[in-house]
Structures are given as structure tokens and as C-alpha cells.
Structure 1
């Protein structure tokens, strides 16, 4: 198990000796294990306070006639303008403190995780050293430790034991992830994503997978990292993806989880394709509600789903005339039968088995062929068979999700926005368009470029966002397959009861172009 006794020089030397890895497990060497050494607990560095760009009285402009302005804000007196500045400065400082202490708490949680891992190691070491006499075995020693800690913290022994075990497993399987967490590069949400994506990997594969994921974390949120890490993990798997999908689909089920206040979760476990199609149809139906409907969107979705399931009809007829829509991307090599082709995916990142993907391709009303930059993999142009709104299709396919910092809402539910506003001379072309969800689209325009977020589009669709406090964040589009097909409407059941078996029947013969 790798621990903090490893010096940075040792890690650098070890990395320098690694050859470019093959994807096969047989070509991967596990990271070398350190010699027995005393676990070390690092001291977490204090999070740095962001420096707010505070306003001062010098920013107050006397417009005459008793009017004073601060930026875009106008006030009836100098005292009101000064009060606004004081409140703004206080808010900036408080927000700065929130960010700083959020970062500090994350680092302290990482340090606590490392302490728990060290406690597990030392518990095992104590039990080993005592094993020569009439001493307690490891299990008894562990029970003694957890019961002691639990009594002091007033927590259950199961909780304490579980957290210690989880920490030990993280430190053993993903030491570099724990290091990145301790350094403040990632937080607990990223850690969970990495662990979940690597569940099926072997001991030899994990270090390579872990390093690739950490290299691409950047400013991604956990939900954004989940899709990327899942793709990376799939490259390390030896099993046929269709075989994995078949086994997983056999585990579909429905159950209820009781909640407080007489509520419950109705859980439907099914394929990602069907789940996205169902949610997309519910979303379209909920959006068609009348203007005087006071229910919030989550409430509309719930009511619509229950009405459809229980009565076979829909709340206020919202589902009438609405077809299930799902966007599917697939490499051209998959359709043309090239061996080793990548799998098809839905817009939400769910994998689709080959037979189902080919069936969707055969029944698609239109296809969009994308051409990508050979270096970055980002879509740069498209041509369309039976074209409709081809430019929007390109932008949606290129961006995949809302392009605001940290947002992962699917592009098919978003608006296409001009980076430079049309009224300011912005052109309606790919390098001046991006996908924004309605919330962030409104946020961008509500305050204007002087007080709100500013955005500039760089080559290949990269967006450079500048926050109101001057922080700059870059959001890059995710690479896509060299040529993909987008299936936009799926009104029929992909698994009809009397239709072909998606697992056992031969794939459909389909020509790409």
C-alpha cells in the first residue's frame, strides 16, 4: 500500500521509468509498494482567501441633479451610494470567506481520511506484533479500536468501522487521488466519481486509470468528470461491452424506497437509453403545461409520470402528441461494422449495445455526420441527410452540455446563444455560438457585461468565462467520435414485445451514407 512516506522524488522516478502503457492488463505493472514505514499525517495548508475587487468611494460618480452612480447602479443620494458600496464590500468578503473555508474543510476531510487509513494500518500492525503471545487477533483489536472511538464521538461502532474501512480502501487503491484531495485539487465528490468508475478495474489497471483521470479533472464538476472517467475506465476493460450491457440489462427492476412524510421514491432500473427517452418525454410534456399552472417543474414531472403509469393517460393531456426524444451518438465505424469500434452513447452518457444502436440507426429519420479536428477531436463542421436546422445540430453535438462553468445539463434541453450578441454585430456561425441552459442563458444577459459574467469564444469552441470578481475559467468542449450519427426522435419501443431480440438476433444491415 502506498503512503505518504514515499517522497516526491521516488514518485517522479517511478513515473519516469514507466513505458507508454498498452491497454491490456497483462502489460500493466502495479505501482511499487513502499518498504515498511511509519504513516505520516500531513498538515493541511490553509486555503487562500480570494481577493475581492471591492468598490470604494472613489467609484461613486456625481451625475448632477442629486443623482449618483456606481457602475450601472443609480442612487438618489451619496449616502445611499456609499451604503451600497459598504454592503457590496461586506458581501465580497463574506463570499471570499465561504470559498476559503469550503476549501479548508475539504482539505481537513482529506486529512481525516488519511488519519483513518493510518489508524487501520496501525491496528493491523499492533495485532500482528501481538500475535506471538496470548493476545487478541486482528478482528478483536479492530473491535476494541472502533468501540473506543465510537464511545468518545457518540457514534455507532458500525459508522466508525465503516469510515475507517472506506478510508483504508481509498488510500490503498487510489493513493494519488487522496494526495490530490489533500492538496485541494479535487474534493469529495470527485473522489467518489473516481472510485465508482474504477470499480471493475484490476489492481494493475487502477494506477494507470487513476493518473489519466486526474490529468483531465481540471475545472470539471463531479457530474462532468463522471462521463469522462467512465470512458477512460472502459478503455481498460477486456470484456465485450455488449456482453456487459446484456448482463446489466438483465438486472432491471422496479422498487419503492420509503421517505419521510408519507413520501416514497419509485425507482425504475432500466437501460440508460430507455431512461433518457422517458425523462425527455416527461420533460417535453411538463413544459407544455398552461401558463397559469403554478406547479414547479419537478412537481409537474412527478405528476405527469404518476398519471401516465396509473391511469394510462396523462395529467391534463400533457403527453398527448409528445414523442420520446433521445439523442444518440455512434462512431461511423460501428455502423459500418469495423472491428473494435467504440460504443454508441446517449446524450446523457449512457452506453448502448451494438444491436440496439444499429436498430436506432436503421430507423432514424435523419442523420448528422460530424467532422472533427484531428488533434482535439472537437466537432468543427457537419453535413446532414434530410437536413433540418443543421447549424443548431452541430452546436448541440459539439457542446453536448450547457457550456457554463460547472453545468452539465444536456444540450438538447438548452438554448443556442450568440457568444457576441447579434445586436452587437455577432454572426450566426459556429465559432460565435454556444449552448446554454435557460438558467445560465438568462444569467448571462440579466446583468450585462459590466456587472455580470462575460464570455469569449476561443478556437475549437473553447469558452473563456470571466466572473464578476474577475476570475477567468476556460470551458472546453469534450471530444467526439470522428463521425457520428445523431438519432433525434425515438417514438417506438426499442424493445418491442414481438420484435427482434436485441441480444440474440443478428444486427441489422445498415449503410452509413
Structure 2
């Protein structure tokens, strides 16, 4: 058969119907999504069992006359074990254990709907958060009935309004009373992002946060108006005028920069003393940067951070590399060089040119300099899943000093307070394997190796001639 276009078609073969393919795709995706949700529910059940196990372990030891661990310490120990296989922070695992146990015990209807894939993880989180204000099992059961029904077949966003409204109607305490308690949890935190960025978060009263955002917006728009005026009348713009004809920042960028300027240089007038004690405090950051990065020179006359840096290969590799904040977060070379240039004190660390291992710190002495060396070597907590930076650490004797453990590099390691307590008050143990490597053994006998974090340095191929060691300058 010949079609009107001159092409020959086979009457025995039906063309693929896109609608049929789409229907099969939708069906397959729905099945996959339901399976994922059911597995997520199963994971929550496992975490709930882990929490119950920790409670039973604490109770059993207390009942048997053994110096029993508190439920928190037992949960901390169990969470540390699970963190090793989940590759997560044990703090996160412990919090998820407690939340999962609450879901199973206090929200059985929600858990059933979750297990049946009638609602997803976002619905569950929403129901738990809204139900936190309810303090009665009977009221909570009534709330669940409405919340689960409102969530089935709806997106979490569309269901949220109904869930919140029902929880508010059933809440035994007013919003004003709950807000007063919630304000006890106001805080500021930071979170690592990629490409040398971090996020700063703030929890405070809604009116204060909106006021902060509005003020930053007004300031940003004022700068934009001034910049636009400066472009129109650059010749008459005074030297100290606000406007800058070359400033093309978007309003979001301006808000961020104005917020940073205010927080770094502004005075807390509502809390300061008459002599400005708080306002005199300056921001402090600790960075580590290879000395060759500091010494790199600009190869262009560009006025900003986008200028090229000299990165001619040394020993066959690039010499310019990013710096790091304490804790291992990378920062761009431009910022590292500015901070290095304004630093009032440096501490030089000598590293091995091939392995990058810490060899020595200037003027090594068995007290302050030993702490400096360990501070450089252990740039995070040395428990296997922890990443807290040096300033949050205790200097721990692997073999207790009370049992004859020496105060030397091979018997010391930086641990955050949480994992320092875990080592001393639970069945977790640790031993030094040499070169700063620690071997942790869990209560179940599993072992986890933690090596010192790789310092900011460059390495070379073993076939190269012996180069001089790399001087690094943390400050």
C-alpha cells in the first residue's frame, strides 16, 4: 500500500499509540512511588524499634543493679551504631529514632496510612508537626481522623491548611501561650552549601522576621534607586554619594549583602552596655590555606574577584587551591587571600608533600604547640560520623590519663562533647592505630576506622623528585 506522501506502510503493524505509552508510564510510576513510600514507612518502623531497644537496654541495666545508662545515653549508643550503616550523623539518627517512635506510638492511624502508601512522608511530617500541640490521646485520635482524610489524594501543600486548622481548633492552649513557649527555641544556625557557600538561618517571632526582611528590602530598593540615578547623572554624582553607576546587583543580592554588613559591623544597641562592649566584638573565622595559594599573583588587571590567578603547574599539578574554614568547608581563593592579608597572627603547619599528613607545627612544645598540632590534624571531631569543627572539641586521652595514658600526639584526639561522653559512659571503645588513625568498636563488636581529615594541600606523583614540604598557614 502506498500512502499519499509516497511512503510505503505495513498494514499488519499498528503504529505506537502515545496515549498507550503514557498510560503505561503513569501506571509504572504510580507503582514505583507506592513502593518507595512503603519502604520509607518500613524504615520508620525500624527506627522506632531502635528507640524502643534503647529504652529497654537502659531499663534492663538499671533493674539488674548495673550502673545503668540513661535512656538518652543508650539511644546515643544505638544511634551511633546505626549511623555507621546509614552514613549519617548519629545526632540526626537519634532524632529520627525518637520521631519514628512517636509516630508509631502516638499516631497509629497516620502510620497505617503511610504503610499503605495512602499518604507520603511529607504528609506524615506535616501531621506530626501540627499534632505536637495536642496533649491528649483522645484529642489526637480525633485530629488524626480528619488529618489523614484531608491528606489522602491531596498534595501536602493543599492539605496543610486543613491539617493546621483542625489542630488549632483542637489545641488545648491558645496560640499566644504556645508562641510564648516557642520563643524559647529561637536560634540562629548555619548550614553548608556547595561552591564555598553557607546558609544562615534564623528562627524568631514572625513579626520580627518580617520586619527584618522588610527593612532589608527597603534598604536594597534605596540602593537600586540611587544606582539608577547615578547612571543617569554620573557626572554630578558626589564622591560620597550612595549611588554607584557600576553596581548591577539584583535585589536578592543586595538584601544578602546588606544583611551581612549589618550583622558584621552593626551594634546590638538594644543589648549593649553604655561603653559599647558588645559592639566592640568583631567577627572571627579560622581558615587554612596553602601558602602557594596566598602567594599566587593576579595575571590580569581586573578589579574584582573574577581576575585570573597564576596557576602554573608545579610538579605537574596546579598550585592554586582553595582554602578551608575550620571543619573542612572550602572557601574561594579570593576570600582566603583577603582574610590572610588582614590576619594579625598565623600558625605555620608543616605537611608531608605526598601524603599531606601533618608533620609539625612551629616551635613544637608539649603544651600549647601540642594542642596546635592536634587542632590542625583533627580539623573535625574524630568520631566516625561527626563533622563538628575544632572549636567544639574536647582534647581526649584515648587511654585515660588516670590509667597511665600519656599526654602525647599518639594518645590524643579531638572529640566533641557528645562523643567524648559516648566514649566514656557507654560500651563504645577506641584505640589509636598510628599516624592519627582511630579504630572505634561499637557495643555489637563492629569496627569503624576514622582517619585524620585530609588537610588543604597539594600532592604530587610518587615518581616526581623530592620537593620541599608544603608550608600551610592556618589562622
Q: Give the TM-score category using the shorter length.
A: 0.3 to 0.5
Bigger-Rg structure (1/2): 2
